Structure 1
């Protein structure tokens, strides 16, 4: 019964996460789990938990992996707003010392599920040293595999690595390569976006600049023709800060039914460009939604 009850809580939190992440249009994958009894017992042997001290905070855990490294902060900020954050560990790169970067958040189990969780905890002695929290880890798809290997093969068996300084540095060096590749991947798609902008391939420019999960719908032909004849407008779109565009959308009440090129061009125009022709092409129902979201 306790495992089943905890899986219900996990699913409710997961559904909330998935709905909000899908709303953003970002490229991501989401993993989740509830620790089984063996994992709980194993962690109790490694950590010093006590009823009047620290409690286990990751009985329920989630991992969000983004396809691109610059999406990590966007997703972290989204989760901060979505849940009651207790602690955030978000390591920034150090110019002098290289080390793997931790990006983990501890959140309070939502109020709707908290009473259910505490009822389960009271009726199960083996959960006495477990807090009413859950953990979210943030990774990129390139670094995900490395973290799995490091956690299982080094973090959980530290004595095996005693005295193996060179080998430990080599494992960290592999992570450094992946971190560099994350940066190179983002730069590559920025470069692709620039080439498509210069070639007036507006859909390709938008896809590679925004890097969202766009639908197969084509960009409105009138808008495409307009951008062909008014390259300065296309240039203004290309020059906009991607994170600012996406955060403006996320922090609003907007929810696009579909991630189409048209919707995002209309949105970008409303918030940043104010171009009269694109405004004239924007459906009135969208104008009303934008007005409600921003005015």
Structure 2
């Protein structure tokens, strides 16, 4: 019978993958938490016993599991895009539920990624190559849904007999999830409305903070940039109308590595999108050269 013995190799790979993902998401200022685990020896061998196909026609793909938990649900696709520039998706092993218009329920957003060559060498041992795939599983959730999933998994999914003939209570628990999902979208709408109010009042730093919702190292614009915005409302409008997701993805694509201050965000957006000469004069040459 196939069996797997515990190894430190998977722990080392898990830490490196976690560091890579965390670094990439932090570089663009996304608000997130990241969790990781490797399957225990007991869990791995239990999985092997559950399916005789392991080691013959399929391998265990989730010996390493990474979970990214986001503050905002409009960042889910952005995070997937960023991680997919670092690791190759296994297209046939993507589990993303499609929501129906007339129902609320927990949705999976699980993706299996291939490890690069170096990480594969670290992971694989001669006695388990036929059992363990060179992959890790990524789950993406939001903070609101994370808490619900944990409760639902531990107290309903793992205790199915406790819920027999209690359809009304089960439906009410799903209703809690519906409320949380609605609250997530409402929260983003509130931030958008706050940003617009600050735009109308020419409160440029507040406008940008609330619009982009990122972890800024410095969240106040210098007076020289404020003065330019105050003198040209159309320029302020151009920055207000920037597509947040598009800008974050572009920052990742161009390898943005500067401290993420409001000022540097303005400089980057101006280099790549707005192209105002007054802002360009203030932009450090090193950023112009690196981001162009």
User: Structure 1 length as normaliser, TM-score?
Assistant: 0.89
1:199 equivalent to 2:201? Answer: yes
Name 1:214's counterpart in structure 2: 216
SS in 1 for 2:215: coil
Cα distance in 2 for residues equivalent to 1:111 and 1:27: 30
Contact 1:49 1:129 in 2 (8 A): no
C-alpha deviation, 1:252, in angstroms: 1.6
What is the aligned counterpart of 2:103 among 83, 97, 107?
Answer: 97
Shift of 1:169: 1.6
* Distance (Å, rounded) in 1 between the aligned partners of 2:225 and 2:152: 49
How far is the alpha carbon of 1:182 from its aligned partner? 0.8
Q: Measure the CA separation in 2 of the matches of 1:166 and 1:38.
A: 36
2:172 corresponds, among 165, 170, 177, to 170
1:11 lines up with 2:12 in the alignment: no
* Residues 165 and 130 of structure 1, relative CA distance in 2, 3 Å threshold: farther
- The residue number in structure 2 matching 1:268 is 269
SS in 1 for 2:217: coil
Specify the SS of the correspondent of 2:124. Answer: helix
- Of residues 120, 143, 151 in structure 2, which corresponds to 1:141? 143
- Contact 1:49/1:56, CA 8 A, preserved across alignment: no
In structure 2, runs of 5+ residues without a counterpart are none
Question: Across the two proteins, how many residue pairs are aligned to each other?
Answer: 286
Task: Name the CA shift for 1:98/1:54 in 2 (closer, same or farther; >3 Å).
Answer: farther
- 2:192 corresponds, among 166, 175, 190, to 190
Confirm or deny that 1:80 pairs with 2:81: no
Distance (Å, rounded) in 1 between the aligned partners of 2:166 and 2:86 = 42
Relative to structure 1, the CA distance from residue 236 to residue 105 in structure 2 (aligned partners, 3 Å threshold; closer, same or farther) is same
RMSD: 2.1
1:70 correspondence with 2:71? no
Give, in angstroms, the shift of residue 160 of structure 1: 3.5
Range moving further from structure 2, 161-170 or 7-16: 161-170
Given that residues 54 and 60 in structure 2 are in contact (C-alpha distance below 8 angstroms), is that contact kept between their aligned partners in structure 1? no
DSSP-derived class of the 2:98 partner: coil
Aligned to 2:134: 132
| CA offsets 1:172-224 (integer angstroms, 9 cap, x no match) | 21111111111011111111111111121111111111111001363121110
- Scaled by the length of structure 2, the TM-score of the pair is 0.90
How far is the alpha carbon of 1:43 from its aligned partner?
A: 4.3
Q: Is the 8 A contact 2:48 2:54 kept in 1?
A: no
Distance 1:239 1:217, change over 3 A: closer
Secondary structure of 2:44's counterpart equals helix
Does 152-161 or 234-243 show the bigger shift? 152-161
8 Å CA contact 1:30–1:63 kept in 2: the answer is yes
Q: Distance in 2 between matches of 1:7 and 1:65?
A: 21
